[in-house]
Amino acid sequence: MKLAKVLLSNGERHIAIVEANGVQLLDLSQVENCHRMTDILHAPDPIGLAKFLIDTELPPVPFNQLEFLAPIDHQEVWAAGVTYKRSQVARMEESEAAASHYDQVYTADRPELFFKATPNRVCGPNQPVRVRFDSQWSVPEPELALVVSPDLRLVGYTIGNDMSARDIEGENPLYLPQAKFYKQCCGLGPCILLHEQPLDREATQIQLTIEREGEEVFRGDTSIAEMARGLEDLIGWLGKENDFPSGVILLTGTGVVPPDEFTLEDRDIVSIEISGIGTLINPIVKDAAP
């Protein structure tokens, strides 16, 4: 089952179950203290609750009569780095001085974890994500995102775009927060696939496509089978000496990295597709230097 936040053509916002040809709206007035998507996600039985909340008096809404919004309420967004071999190589290439650190963290028990975004810095489907004006080498990072409850249960999956200024991070690893954390630095969506059973790691493919002026300029793919770490392991490390009263969304790292000579430009279109979840599309915006 997939849940989404949607904006209807009449301006109404709803939580909905995503079906093959449209969405089924939910009536969140039926259960006390159930008013937001996270109230469903963090319930003991999210799937059962979502089915109970279906508004049977309303017909399904076709996709052409709605927009998908970022599937986030008040959660923090965190990210894991160097979880794929390709990411390890890329990070070592961009920062010669720190190459050994990236090599070591790839095989270490403790993963690299960093704060990525607050909800106001997250962009939904078809909303622009940003390249910093002071970066000359920035790329999208297509990632499986884990939706985690306050008690650290894996409750769902969505698609994340962890925008990254490779030149800023490569200049000095201590600049990582500036390379990763800024306005419009993260894309999420279009929906949340509720967790029913572990994902098939081989079958869960991640594909990144970048278009420029109507032409494809990059395409790459991987599967989460290429990850060196388990999903529950990453959640376990994130929860050590930390708590998340509103839940948390954890990006799990990237295995698709454009070549070193590539950088995003203003008005590029980034598409990230993950098997079983959908496709997240975001245009790129980069302002001129002030």
Q: Which of 187, 162, 161, 165 is nearest to 178 (CA)?
A: 165
**pTM for the complete prediction?**
0.94
**Both structure tokens of 4:** 């989404």
Burial of 288 (0-12, 13-18, 19+ CB in 10 A): exposed
Range list of H helices, the chain: 37-41, 46-52, 85-94, 99-107, 166-171, 176-180, 231-238
| C-alpha distance from residue 240 to each of 76, 112, 132, 196 (Å) | 16, 13, 32, 25
Residue 70 near residue 5, CB atoms below 8 Å: yes
Positive or negative torsion for Cα 144, 163, 39, 232: positive
Q: Which residues of 120-129 are buried (b: 16+ CB within 10 A; e: fewer)?
A: ebbbbbbbbb
How big is the CA angle at 77 (ends 283 and 168), to the nearest 5 degrees?
65
User: What is the CATH T-level fold of the domain 76-285, as seen in this structure?
Assistant: Fumarylacetoacetate hydrolase; domain 2 (3.90.850)
Q: Which of 283, 280, 203 is nearest to 4 (CA)?
A: 280
Range list of H helices, 149-245: 166-171, 176-180, 231-238
Where exactly are the structural domains of the chain? 2-69, 76-285
SS3 state at 162: strand
Q: pLDDT per position in the chain (290 positions), as tens?
A: 999 999 999 999 999 999 999 999 999 999 999 999 999 999 999 999 999 999 999 999 999 999 999 999 999 999 999 899 645 455 545 555 555 667 678 888 899 999 999 999 999 999 999 999 999 999 999 999 999 999 999 999 999 999 999 999 989 889 999 999 999 999 999 999 999 999 999 999 999 999 999 999 999 999 999 999 999 999 999 999 999 999 999 999 999 999 999 999 999 999 999 999 999 999 999 999 88
Return the CA Rg of the chain. Answer: 19
